[in-house]
Structure 1
């Protein structure tokens, strides 16, 4: 009997060691939006944005290093970006045509295909936290508007006065857009004209599980309760066992191409490398329809891609070396190993 117990114990130890030897190396990739124009970026703002991207990477990666799931890393990283006014999400959300802030977010667990999303919320400090609560504590996938905020109160999610989201830069962007509307002129600002502005994260944890999340303030001067791709599972946010995606760009085109899901299906079902799948959709399918933007894509093997077809995209990654790598412009190699 003792011999059998020793053999069983030895087998369990060997199994555990084998499992550990096959543990994945954690990776976290983030973005703070495509559509960056180099000539419009001043040095102080660029320095602050790079620092905040690095901070978000460190916060998210700390979760992965502690052995926590990819969902925790995604949530931690996005929360940092939502709290910073430089990004069009949370604190830095843009204004609608009516002078309001309407926030959207989504999160998805690749291991289980569970997902949660919120749209058109006005008082939720960190929409990504509410999206996760929808996933984990409701029978639904997406909640919108007043109903989403009622659920937030029930779940103890922090709500703030609408004034919290106001920044002078975003307000002036709206005033300029309204003047152009009145003069029947096209929007001169690229972010307004092309509907950019999002933050997102994708992560791979030690168990080899993937997760994706995206949060946005939408588009400046938008009307009629417009919702873009960010909170739509499969369009701007998607994760399965093989691939995780967060998009940033002209949302209508990401919806029409079901961009995030299409990329992951190319990886999971067609066996395409992550880089090829990402570029086929972001740099070919979407531009062919007249759209543009970027995405971050992470595979279960730890490979990732950060394609974009604009002048720049705020982006970064952190992996085995534990060092945040951050880049903005197309000619930088810092955000790709």
Structure 2
């Protein structure tokens, strides 16, 4: 299948209870970081690089920014540690790589990509993943690098509430279970997806969410790429990212409808919430979410970064999906 494709990049920085009284300084910093992520990722696509290069370039920017729950801004576990997860998937080859429960990897998304490209495996965890990182020359840092006062105070608040709530019942705490992610379509018509997260504030027992689980929070094939953000247990149980892509590639559903059915119907019907970004090989965009907001951004044919946070901000997924191109077949 040959495409004459206009590259597209979509990113997210997490969905949740995003307050409209966010300080102007913080909102400005968040929008600036997302704009830089879009610019750095899209520069790869404009240079003719593969979608995977755009995905990892964009996510690396967000991992390095303490305003996002990934990399530098990761939340704390119940035991006061940072445990990070990440995954990537290449839609053209169906190759994938992921890591979970790493403590010292500066950019977990780069380690996930190394797992995909330089190991015979798909998922590595904990100490073994960090041993592999050393072998691959992936940057390791002291765990103190990930400590931010804001995240530490969120943990202290959550610890005070322990025994009085179920996970995510307190909205002030629940808003920090975001992730970062990216999906991209390159000039060759190939798709890729990636997701990186610090997990859930106050999580225990080595809990792993959906982000590093291929098909749950991260998935890409030849027709569709998805990165999710939300209450991970429900994304795992619905295999949310894979289900969206199967609706598109096997059932021929329009991307926006497929994404909305899973994110805004199926997951809430089970008691979960969150959002996702999705992209098909015709360049259609979907960014459904059922929370107060979702940090999200996109850049396409106009070459201009667009960033939105709140639920009433316009985005391309508010537009009707484009008609499928004659070069695409639902079940290819």
Q: Same fold (TM over 0.5)?
A: yes
Give yes or no for contact 2:87–2:109 (8 Å, CA) kept in 1. Answer: yes
Tell me how far apart the structure 2 counterparts of residues 250 and 191 of structure 1 sit (CA, whole Å): 14
Measured after TM superposition, the shift of residue 37 of structure 1 is 2.3
Give yes or no for contact 1:26–1:65 (8 Å, CA) kept in 2. Answer: yes
Choose the corresponding residue for 2:97, options 108, 111, 116: 116
* Residue number in structure 2 paired with 1:63: 44
Residues 135-184 of structure 1 deviation map (CA, whole Å, 9 limit, x = unaligned): 000000000000000000000000000000000000000001111116x3
Give yes or no for contact 2:71–2:198 (8 Å, CA) kept in 1. Answer: yes
Choose the corresponding residue for 2:80, options 99, 105, 110: 99
Give yes or no for contact 1:196–1:293 (8 Å, CA) kept in 2. Answer: no
Query: Within the alignment, does 1:206 sit opposite 2:206 as a pair?
Result: no
Measured after TM superposition, the shift of residue 209 of structure 1 is 0.1
Measured after TM superposition, the shift of residue 38 of structure 1 is 2.5
Give yes or no for contact 2:16–2:174 (8 Å, CA) kept in 1. Answer: no
Tell me how far apart the structure 1 counterparts of residues 204 and 178 of structure 2 sit (CA, whole Å): 16
* Residue number in structure 2 paired with 1:89: 70
* Residue number in structure 1 paired with 2:296: 315
Choose the corresponding residue for 1:281, options 262, 265, 274: 262
Tell me how far apart the structure 1 counterparts of residues 271 and 165 of structure 2 sit (CA, whole Å): 20
Residues 113-156 of structure 1 deviation map (CA, whole Å, 9 limit, x = unaligned): 00000000000000000000000000000000000000000000
What is the number of equivalent residue pairs in this alignment? 316
Tell me how far apart the structure 1 counterparts of residues 123 and 66 of structure 2 sit (CA, whole Å): 26
Choose the corresponding residue for 2:201, options 214, 220, 230: 220
Residues 186-207 of structure 1 deviation map (CA, whole Å, 9 limit, x = unaligned): 6675263376210000000000
Tell me how far apart the structure 2 counterparts of residues 220 and 75 of structure 1 sit (CA, whole Å): 25
| Structure with a larger share of its residues in helix | 1
Query: Within the alignment, does 1:52 sit opposite 2:29 as a pair?
Result: no
| SS of corresponding position for 2:209 | coil
Normalised by the length of structure 2, the TM-score is: 0.93
Tell me how far apart the structure 1 counterparts of residues 184 and 20 of structure 2 sit (CA, whole Å): 32
Tell me how far apart the structure 2 counterparts of residues 335 and 50 of structure 1 sit (CA, whole Å): 18
* Residue number in structure 1 paired with 2:326: none
Measured after TM superposition, the shift of residue 40 of structure 1 is 4.5
Larger gyration radius, structure 1 or structure 2: 1
Give yes or no for contact 2:109–2:195 (8 Å, CA) kept in 1. Answer: yes
Give yes or no for contact 1:210–1:240 (8 Å, CA) kept in 2. Answer: yes
Measured after TM superposition, the shift of residue 86 of structure 1 is 0.2
Give yes or no for contact 1:325–1:335 (8 Å, CA) kept in 2. Answer: no
Choose the corresponding residue for 1:300, options 264, 281, 284: 281
| SS of corresponding position for 2:162 | helix
* Residue number in structure 2 paired with 1:179: 160
Q: Which moved more, 1:151-160 or 1:326-335?
A: 326-335
| SS of corresponding position for 1:179 | helix
- The alpha-carbon distance between structure 1 residues 201 and 207, as it changes in their structure 2 partners (threshold 3 A), is same
Give yes or no for contact 1:192–1:221 (8 Å, CA) kept in 2. Answer: no
* Residue number in structure 2 paired with 1:4: none
Tell me how far apart the structure 2 counterparts of residues 232 and 90 of structure 1 sit (CA, whole Å): 18
Query: Within the alignment, does 1:28 sit opposite 2:9 as a pair?
Result: yes
- Can you give the 5+ residue segments of structure 1 that lack an aligned partner in the other structure? 1-18
Give yes or no for contact 1:250–1:293 (8 Å, CA) kept in 2. Answer: yes
- Can you give the 5+ residue segments of structure 2 that lack an aligned partner in the other structure? 320-332
Tell me how far apart the structure 2 counterparts of residues 129 and 64 of structure 1 sit (CA, whole Å): 18
| SS of corresponding position for 1:38 | coil
Tell me how far apart the structure 2 counterparts of residues 254 and 194 of structure 1 sit (CA, whole Å): 17
Choose the corresponding residue for 2:306, options 325, 328, 333: 325
Residues 82-103 of structure 1 deviation map (CA, whole Å, 9 limit, x = unaligned): 0000000000000000000000
Tell me how far apart the structure 1 counterparts of residues 157 and 191 of structure 2 sit (CA, whole Å): 41
Give yes or no for contact 1:108–1:116 (8 Å, CA) kept in 2. Answer: yes
Measured after TM superposition, the shift of residue 36 of structure 1 is 3.6
Query: Within the alignment, does 1:234 sit opposite 2:220 as a pair?
Result: no
* Residue number in structure 1 paired with 2:225: 244
Give yes or no for contact 2:183–2:192 (8 Å, CA) kept in 1. Answer: yes
- The alpha-carbon distance between structure 1 residues 335 and 315, as it changes in their structure 2 partners (threshold 3 A), is farther
Give yes or no for contact 1:295–1:308 (8 Å, CA) kept in 2. Answer: yes
